[in-house]
Amino acid sequence: MVEIGAHKQRRFLTQLRGAILDLRSQLWFRPAAFCIVAALISIAVPFAEVLVPKGWVSWFGDTHAATAQEVLKFLASGMLTIITIIMSALMLVLSVASGQASPRAVPELMADPVAQNTLGIFLATFVFSFGALIVIGADLVERRGMAIYAVATLVLVILVLRYLLEVIHHVPDILKINTMIARVHRQAEAVLQQYFAEAADDPAAAGPAPQKIAEGVPVWPKRVGYVRWVDHDLLVEAAEEHNVRIELLFRIGEFVSKAAPLMLVEGLPDDENDRDAVIDRLRSLIAIGSERSSAGDPLLGIDLLAEIASRALSPGINDVGSTITCIDYLESLLAIAGRGAPASYPPAWIGEGRVMRHPVGFAVMLRHAIRGPARDGAMKVEVALEFLSAIKKLTAISDSAYRNDLLSEARRIAGQAEQALALQSDRDRVKDALRTVKKVETGEENEGEHYR
């Protein structure tokens, strides 16, 4: 029988990482943790007061239980009111983000630390006040315990005021479309830089590149959804241990269903039980969920910016300015991707040729960034000119291996615009812009003109 018990801990960590990615965008998790801590503190005060020297609270004076209870009641009732208002404001933010930006941007907003910390502090203050009322009402604390409650209440009030002032500024700010776009870009930029950093540190990058698997056993997914994370190190380890070769048939972030296999595996054991054990082990190293995760998915941020750009061009919104802003941020992301030579991208084959994956290359990022908004904005000359200007700059700074891809996309944009634009003057402007892109590609334009 195949022995896999030694790998259960690492497989558990892989599955735990997928669960953490889910919890990150859940509004309830961090507030729930804060509430648990607050409840434990309020209940622990009768036991902890004996540890406080009497001299430390001599300056505090006597605090009557009735006075403390009135303050705690006021604090608890006030927190319920504020929590209701904050939740209404957050629901408004999520609704506006879904309508103006993209429904796919909602998980990132739900993961916003300011919103989660604010809810957590307010709920924790309510729970602490409620627990303290029970303990004081049962006459379980003495003078030192009352002093502890007073200090803890004062700290919580300061935190409440701090987060209340922050959320008063944060909610209107996050409703701005430019703020949402900038948040998506920051997240996408961090993921893209991490993508290249992991490729540079990959010890398997110099391995051989054998032929694709010709006749492999298809491994089907047990769960339908988006691929959120793949533990490539454990896949390589499993392939080496069981002497198999694996070809992954998806990219991180793609949707997988039971209509197509997850992977092809070559060299599985003949024994049916051993084969099933190996397949279960390989399948468990792939985290699948109902939503995409930015972790390890360099296309998610690009797709979100492209989707926001397209939605801004819809008749209901008709905001060309937001589309141009998205194009500017997409240009920044593509500049990071374009400066890296093909060898700086993650290798397809890892583990000395035992595992084949499909990393995202520059051409894929370029298509995802441009084709949707360029198609939807073909009737807007500003959109076509902005894209051609971005491609011109990218052609000047990107690795020469990507110039054909950039020129191909420029021709596609110009062709779509020429068909959609009604005014000859607009079509002429697009043709002129395309000619400048070609001059940069052929080296005919002076270097100083590349960025104008």
The pLDDT score that the predictor gives to residue 316 is: 83
Q: Which amino acid is at 22?
A: D
The pLDDT score that the predictor gives to residue 4 is: 44
- For the cut 50, the answer to whether the pLDDT of residue 3 exceeds it is no
- For the cut 50, the answer to whether the pLDDT of residue 350 exceeds it is yes
For residue range 261-288, what is the model confidence (pLDDT) as tens digits? 999 999 999 898 999 999 999 998 898 9
- For the cut 50, the answer to whether the pLDDT of residue 128 exceeds it is yes
Average pLDDT over every residue of 380-391: 96
Classify burial at 274, counting beta carbons within 10 Å of its beta carbon; exposed 0-12, middle 13-18, buried 19 or more: middle
Domains of the chain, by residue range, sit at 25-175, 295-346+360-449
Q: Where are the beta strands (DSSP E) in 44-193?
A: none
The pLDDT score that the predictor gives to residue 452 is: 52
Beta-bridge partner residues of 256: 225
Pairing mode of beta strands 286-289, 245-248: unpaired
pTM score, whole prediction = 0.83
| Apex 213 CA angle, 210 and 216, nearest 5 | 150
Of residues 412 and 201, more confidently modeled? 412
The secondary structure of 354-407, three-state, reads: CEECCCCCHHHHHHHHHHHHHHHCCCCHHHHHHHHHHHHHHHHHCCHHHHHHHH
- In Å, what is the CA distance from 225 to each residue of 144, 288, 293? 55, 6, 12
For residue range 89-113, what is the model confidence (pLDDT) as tens digits? 888 888 887 777 777 777 777 778 8
Of residues 426 and 62, more confidently modeled? 426
